[in-house]
Amino acid sequence: METIKNYYFRDMGVMLGRSMRHVSRSMDTIITVTIMPIALMLLFVYVLGGAIQSGTDKYVNYLLPGILLMAIANSIGYVSFRLFTDIQRGIFERFHSMPIARSAALWGHVLTSLVSNIISITVIIIVALIMGFRSPAGVLSWLAVGGILALFTLTLTWIAAIAGLSAKSVDGASAIAYPIHFLPLISSAFVPTKTMPAGVRAFAENQPVTSIVETIRALLFNQPVGNTIWVALAWCIAIMIVAYFFAMRVYKRRK
């Protein structure tokens, strides 16, 4: 049993390395996932920030959690695109004919999404610190923030996996990213929801991103998280479980 586990993790490591090489060689991915969120953060802080009443002295402190979630959302289209490409090229069939774990190829894409987003988020936080972001949070609070961001990444990654495994075209595989992009925009990520019209406000306050953003803000600035953290975790875990179930079901049908 131990030997089987060792082989399984070794196979996943090989697939992770393969997918990470593809990401590192894709300038389009790097621009969309890292450079664009940084550019958006610069735009909002230095151009639009003065006109936005966020209730904080430094708008970058208010903005950063939303930018981190947007960076993760931006990466999702590439997950489904890479999965679709591997399927169309027959890569999965080749891997399945080799003596490697059947699910290693799929998990390689999932872990690549997690690792690449960790790198992207780290770079964005460094830039935010240069821009004046400061947080009194301790190590445990930062670890909690990292855990929530990782959970959010895995949730969106499994949603993208469904699209990548079941799409009939490249456009269909990438289309899953478009509605996800709007969630951070229609939330408390950039402005307080109280400034929105009643209908928009109702949606913004009852969708997953707002609860996740508010939880991260509370953790970063040592504020009470209340029930918000449980709402955020419930959203992510419930969606991830459902998405994982359907993604694995589609994947097994393709074996």
- Classified as helix, coil or strand, 169 is coil
* Three-state helix/strand/coil letters over 200-223: HHHHHHCCHHHHHHHHHHHHHCCC
Q: What's the pLDDT at 54?
A: 63
Q: What is the pLDDT of residue 232?
A: 94
| pLDDT reported for residue 7 | 66
The answer to whether the beta carbons of residues 109 and 147 sit under 8 Å apart is: no
Task: Return the pLDDT at 220.
Answer: 93
What the block records as the tokens of 227 is: 């029930």
What's the confidence (pLDDT) of residue 6?
Answer: 57
Pick out the chain residues at pLDDT < 50.
1-4
> d(Cα 91, Cα 29) in Å, to the nearest integer?
21
Name residues whose C-beta falls within 8 Å of residue 4's C-beta, 6 or more positions apart in sequence: none
User: How is the chain split into domains, by residue range?
Assistant: 2-253
Contacts of 236 (CB under 8 A, 6+ apart): 148, 151, 152, 155, 208, 212
Q: Helix (H, G, I), strand (E, B), or coil: what is residue 226?
A: coil
User: Taking a C-beta distance cutoff of 8 angstroms, is the pair 207, 185 a contact?
Assistant: no
pLDDT at 53: 63
Write down the pLDDT at residue 179.
81
- pTM for the whole structure: 0.87
Tell me what pLDDT residue 69 has: 93
Residue 208 in contact with residue 236, Cβ under 8 Å?
yes
